[in-house]
Amino acid sequence: MNVVSHMGKKFVKRVPRAVREPEPGFDNDPGARKQKAYQKASRQAEQEFDGEMDNVDQEQPERESHWIDFAAKEQKDIVHEELNQFGNGDEPWQVLVVKGDNNIFLYSKGSNTSIYLMPREAKDRFKPLMGNPGLRYFGLYLGNFKGDQFNLSLEGATELAKSGAARKNWVKLNDEGEKSFLYGQDIKKADLHSVCERGITHNRGICLVLNALGECIGIGKLEARDPTFKKVSDEEILVKNVVDRGVYLRNQNRL
């Protein structure tokens, strides 16, 4: 079991030791091992949908490698904490997860561990498909884990901005700045329209990048020494481009 510490606590990161992504199935007759893994995963999925996941603190039995699971409480806490860095109080979490009535899933693919939101109303349909080796995407990709650090995805950031709950840690660009950022460029003073009231206060300097209309066009990372951008030079890079929506054109075949 992979044990990860977070905020003084220890929790079992519920990612199997040998996580592997099965090859996409082009036949309906997988080998016996694959079939066994699939049946076991389906049984587990069924139990979890029936409410067993409420008791997340219980030690989970070792399982065969599989790549989709419910997020554990500790993982949810990390996601919760990260989302709330962009809003007032608990609003982002409430808007994206609670009001959206979403289940929170952990998806492991190779060494990547991602978080997806899936509406609870989809559970009857999703339950039998959780173990399908061909599963490639579902619901809303909210972000991914690197160790015990959660990184918000572009799609997650977009939903957050769309919901109106993004009130902190944002920079707004002017039209020229928007164009430049969508080409993958970093943000300089001339690109800036405005910045949120207290500047970038995120503990890792992450910020939502919005256009002049308040629509999310990407995610950035603070580079400037002054997080309020009041004392910065024209040439200084204020925010580095982490990801922008131009990626849908530039990297379409690699997504």
Q: How far is the CB of 160 from other proteins (least distance, A)?
A: 12
> Closest CB to other proteins among 93 and 229?
93
Q: How far is the CB of 175 from other proteins (least distance, A)?
A: 9
> Closest CB to other proteins among 86 and 126?
126
CA 123 vs CA 103, 131, 234: distances in Å: 9, 13, 52
Distance between alpha carbon 164 and the CA centroid of its chain, in Å? Answer: 18
Q: How far is the CB of 116 from other proteins (least distance, A)?
A: 10
Q: How far is the CB of 80 from other proteins (least distance, A)?
A: 19
> Closest CB to other proteins among 140 and 239?
140
Distance (Å, rounded) from C-alpha 56 to C-alpha 33? 28
> Closest CB to other proteins among 10 and 36?
36
31 exposed, middle or buried (CB, 10 Å; 0-12, 13-18, 19+)? exposed
Q: How far is the CB of 2 from other proteins (least distance, A)?
A: 27
Contact indicator for 166, 208 with CB cutoff of 8 Å: yes
Distance between alpha carbon 80 and the CA centroid of its chain, in Å? Answer: 11
> Closest CB to other proteins among 135 and 196?
135
> What are 94's two structure tokens?
């409430």
Q: How far is the CB of 217 from other proteins (least distance, A)?
A: 7
> Closest CB to other proteins among 10 and 43?
43
Distance (Å, rounded) from C-alpha 158 to C-alpha 160? 5
**Residues ≥6 apart with Cβ < 8 Å to 89:** none
> What are 222's two structure tokens?
């603070």
How many CB atoms lie under 10 A from the CB of residue 239?
Answer: 27
Q: How far is the CB of 120 from other proteins (least distance, A)?
A: 11
Contact indicator for 152, 219 with CB cutoff of 8 Å: yes
Sheet containing strand 216-222, edge to edge, reads: 192-195, 170-173, 206-210, 216-222, 239-244
Footprint of other proteins (CB under 8 A): 24-28, 117, 119, 121-122, 125-126, 128-129, 131-132, 134-141, 154-155, 158-159, 162, 178-179, 182, 211, 215, 217, 245-246, 248-249, 252-255
> Closest CB to other proteins among 118 and 222?
118
